[in-house]
Amino acid sequence: MSDVAGASFQERMAALLDKEAVADVIRRYAYGIDTRDEALVRACFDPDADIVGTVSSGPLREYLPRLLEDVNGYGATMHQLGTQLIDVHGDRAAAKSYAVARHFRDPEGTEEVFVVGVRYDDSLRRDDGGGWRIVERHVVPIWRRTRAESEQR
């Protein structure tokens, strides 16, 4: 429910709780990637989700193993979420979330390989248990800086 102008207190509270639950799915995804917790990442998505990523695309069952293999090639990553716009309409939601993802060669995070700015354009659906899951994700690359580029400055 985006337009809360004539909504009751209960409707406004339900809308706020839904928005927070949607935002939490996206936060859990970022945390799951950074901690290499495949089960946590998988739980953020509908099993039939489709993803268009920056490196590969496809259904979750094909996309997620490739993503995790790629991420495991780094010693550490850190996803920082920024601005989020979330619209909830009944059992459907749309979210746009900006993120900066840092990628390090070493687990201690002392040797940065690259940093990327992206936007996650997500479509979510409320599941039978009342939770939210991503059913479609489009990762929009915005900028990218490699270590060599930052050392030239």
User: What does the block give as tokens for 128?
Assistant: 């039978």
For residue range 29-60, list pLDDT tens digits in order.
Answer: 999 999 999 999 999 999 999 999 988 999 99
Q: Which residue has the tokens 């809360």?
A: 4
For residue range 98-130, list pLDDT tens digits in order.
Answer: 999 999 999 998 999 999 999 999 999 999 999
Encode 63-83 in three state secondary structure. Answer: HHHHHHHHHCCCCEEEEEEEE
CB 121 within 8 A of CB 99: no
Angle (CA) 52 93 17, round 5°:
130
pLDDT at residue 153, rounded to an integer: 44
Q: How confident is the model at residue 69 (pLDDT cuts 50, 70, 90)?
A: very high
Residue 81 clears pLDDT 50, i.e. is over it: yes
**Is 0.85 surpassed by the pTM of this model?**
yes
pLDDT at residue 1, rounded to an integer: 45
CB 120 within 8 A of CB 139: yes
Encode 83-132 in three state secondary structure. Answer: EEEEEEECCEEEEEEEEEEEEECCCCCCCEEEEEEEEEEEEEEECCCCCE
CB 48 within 8 A of CB 135: yes
Q: What is the mean pLDDT of residues 16-38?
A: 97
Q: What is the mean pLDDT of residues 25-32?
A: 98
Task: Share the mean pLDDT of the chain.
Answer: 93
Structural domains of the chain, ranges and CATH numbers in brackets:
9-151 (3.10.450.50)
pLDDT at residue 148, rounded to an integer: 63
